[in-house]
């Protein structure tokens, strides 16, 4: 039986796209016959305490010598010292959802420190797995990693059973993602500010605790715009409950500044939702032209125009919805993703 150590930061059950990817890949590998040993590296990444780093290294030092070890990039990116010391004991596979150093909201000093650490630690990896071709290109260009050491394993997408979408007098907008500056909720609220005369309600589903300052700023913005009765912050919800939000929505919108892939977009497509999205290369690659309106990056005018169109035009929404379901049929499922992940592990194991 092939064996793997999968090391991750924080709580493995955190309801975000990145952790969801990790969980589904691990489950898929086990179904394929892999023995997967989960190793928690502790909390606070990517800015852990020195004690957390020390304990994380100790946990990885305790795995059997020669182990094949996948480390999630949220932790790996700041573990250069540990990996330098462990490089002769383990075979390291890096799983990079997106480079830490390009996260929004970092100071110049933080971004530079993360770049230096990621640049160093990725050199110790036998192979780098990314979640989109765009992220692969970014890793190659940022850190000088040879393209033959980088492989994209796209997230899978579950296709729900057919259902009838409710028809509401008020257009239900849905946005899914942790409340962080990178997710662009401030841009979305600004775009909606000039559409007060239209009938809409925005449901935001995503963790509120990752950046409390961001959440408070959004509450303040919503209060200033007199939107508190038109926006509901639901916080994070269990994965099994998320489908209810997709099924009750009529438009999916996420105004991200950057995404390594954007699993929420593909989930929306699978549920037949017309999509409004932004976020650079990975998002542009993910969104089918006939099923979505792509708005570039930080383009509030384009967001506003797209929102106005889809809130006002039910026929346009229906057309995009039909194309979304067609596009979703071409997306990989989680079995495909796990099988590709497993093949890479086999090819790069000792």
Angle of CA points 225, 231, 237, to nearest 5°? 145
Model confidence pLDDT, tens digit, residues 78-106: 999 999 999 999 999 999 999 999 988 88
Distance CA 142, CA 1 (A): 37
Q: Put residue 95 in one of left, alpha, beta given phi > 0 → left and psi -120 to 50 → alpha.
A: beta
Is the pLDDT assigned to residue 165 strictly greater than 90?
A: no
Under a CB-based contact definition with an 8 Å cutoff, are residues 85 and 53 in contact?
no
Model confidence pLDDT, tens digit, residues 100-151: 999 888 899 999 999 999 999 999 999 999 999 999 999 999 999 999 999 9
Q: Which is nearest to 176 in space by CA: 47, 105, 269, 99? A: 269
Q: Which is nearest to 231 in space by CA: 246, 218, 216, 214? A: 218
Is the pLDDT assigned to residue 174 strictly greater than 80?
A: yes
Please list the residues that pair with 129 across neighbouring strands: 95, 151
What is the average per-residue pLDDT within 231-249?
A: 93
The number of residues making up the chain comes to 350
Domains and CATH numbers, the chain: 3-156+332-348 (3.40.50.2000), 171-328 (3.40.50.2000)
């Amino acid at each position: 039986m092939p064996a793997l150590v999968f090391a991750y930061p924080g709580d493995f059950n955190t309801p975000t796209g990145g952790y969801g990817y990790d969980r589904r890949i691990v489950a898929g590998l086990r179904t394929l016959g892999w023995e997967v040993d989960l190793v928690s590296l502790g909390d606070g990444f990517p800015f852990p305490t020195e004690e957390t780093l020390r304990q994380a290294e100790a946990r990885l030092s305790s795995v059997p010598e020669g182990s094949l070890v996948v480390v999630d990039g949220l932790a790996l990116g700041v573990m250069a010292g540990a990996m330098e010391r462990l490089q002769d004991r383990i075979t390291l596979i890096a799983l990079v959802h997106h480079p830490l150093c390009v996260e929004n909201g970092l100071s110049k000093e933080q971004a530079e420190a993360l770049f230096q650490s990621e640049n160093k630690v990725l050199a110790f990896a036998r192979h780098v797995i990314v979640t989109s071709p765009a992220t692969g290109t970014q890793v190659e260009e940022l850190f000088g990693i040879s393209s033959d050491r980088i492989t994209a394993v796209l997230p899978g997408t579950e296709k729900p059973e057919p259902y009838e979408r409710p028809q509401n007098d008020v257009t239900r907008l849905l946005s899914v993602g942790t409340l962080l500056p990178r997710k662009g909720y401030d841009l979305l609220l600004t775009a909606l500010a000039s559409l007060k005369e239209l009938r809409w309600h925005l449901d935001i589903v995503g963790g509120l605790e990752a950046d409390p300052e961001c959440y408070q700023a959004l509450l303040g913005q919503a209060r200033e715009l007199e939107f508190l009765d038109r926006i509901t912050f639901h916080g994070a919800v269990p994965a099994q409950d998320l489908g209810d939000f997709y099924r009750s929505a009529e438009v999916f919108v996420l105004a991200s500044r950057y995404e390594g892939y954007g699993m929420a977009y593909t989930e929306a497509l699978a549920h037949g939702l017309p999509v409004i999205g932004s976020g650079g290369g990975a998002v542009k690659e993910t969104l089918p032209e006939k099923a979505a309106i792509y708005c570039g990056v930080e383009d509030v005018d384009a967001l506003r125009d797209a929102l106005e169109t889809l809130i006002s035009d039910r026929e346009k929404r229906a057309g995009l919805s039909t194309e979304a379901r067609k596009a979703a049929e071409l997306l990989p499922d989680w079995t495909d993703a796990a099988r590709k992940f497993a093949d890479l592990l086999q090819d790069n194991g000792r």
